[in-house]
Amino acid sequence: MTRDVWKPELYARFRAERSRPFFDLLAMVRPRLGMRVVDLGCGTGELTAEAHKRLGARSTLGIDSSPAMLEKAAPLAGDGLSFALADIATFEQTTGSGFDLVISNAALHWVPDHPALLARVARLLAPGGQLLVQVPANQTHVSHRTANELAREEPFASALKGYVRHRAVLTPVEYALQLHRLGLVEEEVRLQVYVHELSEPADIVEWCRGTLLTDYEKRLPPDLWPPYLEAYRQRIAAAIPDERPYLYTYQRILFSASRPRVGPGTSP
């Protein structure tokens, strides 16, 4: 496993803004009695716990690959809610007949090859089960472009051995087609633009330091991380006029689809 650079406190700084899409996702749940739920990339678990409570789920399992995030989640466990260290890319259900709800908020974009990933994740669904995902799609924003721009420049490019964060996220149309190809039904795909009112443009640095930039932090040698962050700070300051408040636009894709209740070759 690579270095765990997730910082729960930093991630929590924009909790209100970051949880908005999660509640939009929850509104898309087709609730059923006694659901078995899994949350892929549950982070610090507060939103997993909220989903568990609101849905009155029979059981909810949150998985994450960051021990630091899971340490925060651990005290929330109980009453059918549990957490486990696992990688989304390899997670498999070992018991039972599948989940009634597979939910993932702002986590799948860390895993490559979404067509293959969706095929894997769809296999976690019980008949009639729902897959519900939110992924950021803000790669055209200067906050995201700048991170990759710096990765292509020295001394970072050599230290990163040419690594530039790839775009795992598909387009909304590609998700719609992929869900259909997997035999899922009732698909719904939305592109939504969130407008976050930050106090100043420099807040973008703090926002991205808690998520996007962790990818470079974990790959750069420790002595190059502060210069990278400082260069990022300067580029952002130069690129964005000093507006207060600063309106940080953030595009996200929300999608949902269900496994048919009765599939080909399955008896009713």
Q: Which residues bind ligand SAM (CB under 6 A)?
A: 6, 22, 41-43, 47, 64-66, 69, 87-89, 105-107, 110-111, 211
Alpha carbons 42 and 9: distance in angstroms, whole number: 15
Q: Write down the least CB distance from residue 267 to ligand SAM, Å.
A: 35
CB of 199 to ligand SAM, least distance (A): 21
Instruction: Decide: helix, strand or coil at residue 59.
Output: strand
DSSP one-letter code for 86: -
Please check whether residue 144 is in contact with residue 212, taking contact to mean a CB–CB distance below 8 angstroms: yes
Taking the alpha carbons of 66, 91, 79, 132 in that order, is the dihedral positive or negative? Answer: positive
Instruction: Name the token pair of 251.
Output: 């595009």
Residue 214 to residue 43: CA distance in whole angstroms = 14
139 to 7, 15, 136, 169: CA distances (angstroms): 22, 21, 8, 9
Residue nearest to ligand SAM (CB): 43
CB nearer to ligand SAM: give 17 or 237.
17
Nearer to ligand SAM, 166 or 181 (CB): 166
Instruction: Give the nearer residue to ligand SAM in terms of CB position, either 206 or 243.
Output: 206
For ligand SAM, the closer CB: 110 or 194: 110
CA–CA gap between residue 98 and residue 123 (Å, rounded) = 8
Min. distance of Cβ 118 from ligand SAM in angstroms? 14
Closer residue to ligand SAM (CB): 110 or 246:
110
Helix, strand, or coil here: 230?
Answer: helix
Question: b/e per residue, 206-223, with b = 16+ CB within 10 A?
Answer: ebbbbbbbbbbbebbeee
- Min. distance of Cβ 244 from ligand SAM in angstroms? 26
Q: Which is nearer to ligand SAM, 88 or 179 (CB)?
A: 88
Q: What is the largest CA-CA distance in the chain?
A: 63
In the complex, minimum distance from the CB of residue 87 to ligand SAM, in angstroms, rounded to a whole number: 4
Q: How far is the CB of 61 from ligand SAM (least distance, A)?
A: 12
The one-character DSSP state at 219 is H
Least separation, in Å, of the C-beta of 110 and ligand SAM?
3
The residue among 107 and 257 lying less far from ligand SAM, judged by its C-beta, is 107
